[in-house]
Structure formats: structure tokens, C-alpha cells
Amino acid sequence: MQRMARLRQVAFEKAKFDGYLVFNPSNQIYFTGVPGTSALLIPNDDEATIYVYSVNYEQARAEGKGFRVEQVKRGEDLMEKIARQAQELGTKNLGVDALGAESWRNLTKQTRGKTRLKLKPDFVTQLRAVKDEKEIALIRNACELASLGMKTAYEVLSSGLKEYEVAAEIEYAMRKHGSYGTAFDTAVSSGPASAFPHGGCTDRKIRSGELVVIDLGAVYKFYRSDMTRTLVVGKPSEKQQKIQAIVRKAQQKAFEALRQNVAAKDVDGAGRKVIEEAGYGENFVHGLGHGVGLDIHEPPTLNTVSKEKLQAGNVVTDEPGVYLVGYGGVRIEDTVLVTKAGAEKLTIGHYGLGKE
């Protein structure tokens, strides 16, 4: 309820809306904790309503404490029900976080000009960017599970295994110890595919001496983690060790720059400078990082064009990389909590290239 109070302060007291409509599933979870919600209507000074179809109705009633739960029966029009209630509440200006074009047209039609709609997703994204203590605790759990998954990767990785076999061992270990799922598709990208930032996971057999980029994340009670390490089966070459050392230094320099009130682009610049000075600037082809929470990519964004300033409570990734097409790539990534004094790594350990 505190989260809705904060939304009301921003959307209603400052922006002069008298209602806010939530369709984005992650935003719905943020306010209600109830999965399977179809819409959430937050009025100015009345009880918020969760709209659910019949298949999710009983779960919403059981878990949606403090909310009115409205069932959308077969054949009923969700937008018509929302418009009717908005008019009963006297809602004149209704903010909306996300809605497809056809549904927007339908909702506009159903309001019959009595309620004005305005798309305002930033109200919620700004709130979600700063995590509260409960959220940080859940992300911390997700990060512990990710670290365990990476430990498993180091233990099982061997020549001759297929990429998806390594991914299966990682995911099983995280699940067995409490992960609710994977934060995204686990990536085990070996050989030339390690030079692709989103190389994925295939039936390719891992070979001794190749770079292998492993990108994984766990989920704990809806909250996510993100972690990447680069490994080699066998003895790493001098070139591989050199690139690894450059990327590791870049990650550390960026980490040292992370703190509240620092421009996100300056944190990106701190890591990017190391890679550029080493002669690999054109091979660092993405931003340094992104926010993590209910979604694996959310504000703030840490890149060269970001206009955001970091705040205590932001949870972000620190993930520089060097990618040499036709040869391979190196990326090192941790999920990091921004604090008033600096930053704290929530994913830990396993920075070496691997085992011989």
C-alpha cells in the first residue's frame, strides 16, 4: 500500500490525475503481488480494483489482500467494465502505464468522452527504479542463486559437452536451491559465438581452448538477477588472459564509480575508458549496464547517452565486454546495489577464466 501511496503523491497530488490504470504485468506485480492480473485501477481516494478473468479469480481473491477483486466473465468487455467504474468514481483524468492501440481505442470509446486518457508510464518506472528494503532482500536472494549457478558452471564445464547441457546443469542447480525460474534464457556461448553479446545457447560442442561466455540469472519471488562470466576449458592463451584482464579492470573501475548522484553515463565512461585505452574501444559494442528488478532490463540505463543520475537503491548491472568477431568475446557482469556510500556487489566470485 505504501507503493500506491507514493504513486498517488506523484500522479495525483503533483500531476493532477484522479486515477491511474495499470496494464503492464510487472507494474501490476509491483503494486499487488498478484500474478495473472488483467488490469489494476487505482483511484484517487477509494479502494483499488484488480480485474481478473475467471481462470485467475480465486487466486486473486486469496492473494489480493487490500484490493477489490473484479471478475471479468466470459463474454464481458474488460474495457467497458473499467470505463464504467471510472465513471462511477467520477474519474476525469486517467493516467495509463501501457496499452495497445486497439485496446486504447476501445477504452476511449467506452468512456464516451467523460474520462480523458493519457499515457504516463514514467510514474511507475521512476518508483520502481529505486528499490525498497523488501525488494533488495528479494534481489539479494536471486543473486545468491545466480552465484550458485555460476559456481556450478565452473564445476561442470568440460570439453565435449554441448552448450545446452551446461545450461541445463546451471538451471537445475538454481532451481534445486530455490530459484523460481530463470531471469532470461541462459546463454552458454562458445567459440566464435562468444563474440556475439546475445550468443544464446545451442547444440554446439564446447572445445578445449575456446572462450565460453556464460550469462545467467535466477528469479526469487518475481525478482531477478543477472551475472556473466567468461571461461576457458584448458589453459587460456596469453591473448585470452590479456583481454580478460582488460575487461576485469574496466568492470572494477566502473564499480568504483558507482554511487548516488553520479551520472549514469559517467559510470559507463569509467569502464569504457579502460577498454578504449587498451585499443579495444570499437569492440565494446553495448552500454555498461541496466537496471534489474521485476524485469531483467529496466531503468536506469548506463550507457554513453544516458541522462539519468544514480540514486541509492538502484540495482544495476556492471557488464563491460570485448568482442572480436571470428575469435571470441569476454564479458564480466555483476548485479550491483547502489548505496549512499558507493556500491555493493550482489553476485559474487568466480572471476577467473576457468580451470585447467
DSSP per residue over 127-139, as a string?
HHHS--HHHHHHH
Rounded to the nearest 10 degrees, the angle between the axes of helix 101-111 and helix 78-88 is: 40
Which of the listed residues 109, 128, 147 is the one where a domain comes to its end?
128
18 near 91, Cβ under 8 Å?
Answer: yes
Q: Are strands 116-119 and 187-190 parallel, antiparallel or unpaired?
A: unpaired
On the question of pLDDT at 356 being above 70, the answer is no
Same domain, 217 and 259: yes
Closest CA to 295 of 66, 128, 179, 49: 128
More confidently predicted of 300 and 350: 300
Same domain, 187 and 237: yes
Same domain, 57 and 71: yes
Which of the listed residues 128, 144, 164 is the one where a domain comes to its end?
128
Same domain, 36 and 111: yes
Closest CA to 41 of 59, 16, 67, 15: 67
Phi, psi of 291 (to 5 degrees): -70, 155
pLDDT of residue 14: 87
**pLDDT for 131-179, tens place per residue?**
999 999 999 999 999 999 999 999 999 999 999 999 999 999 999 999 9
Instruction: Report the C-alpha dihedral over residues 331, 139, 179, 197, rounded to 10 degrees.
Output: -20
CA torsion sign, 285 to 224 to 61 to 125? Answer: negative
**pLDDT for 75-132, tens place per residue?**
999 999 999 999 999 999 999 999 999 999 999 999 998 999 999 999 999 999 999 9
Residue 198 to residue 185: CA distance in whole angstroms: 10
- 166 is a domain residue: yes
Same domain, 281 and 194: yes
| Site of grid cell 538502484 | 314
Q: State mean pLDDT over 301-307.
A: 98
pLDDT of residue 350: 84
Give the domain extent around 40: 2-128
Same domain, 119 and 187: no
Total tally of structural domains belonging to the chain: 2
Which of the listed residues 97, 128, 159 is the one where a domain comes to its end?
128
On the question of pLDDT at 355 being above 80, the answer is no
Q: For all residues of the chain together, what is the average pLDDT?
A: 96
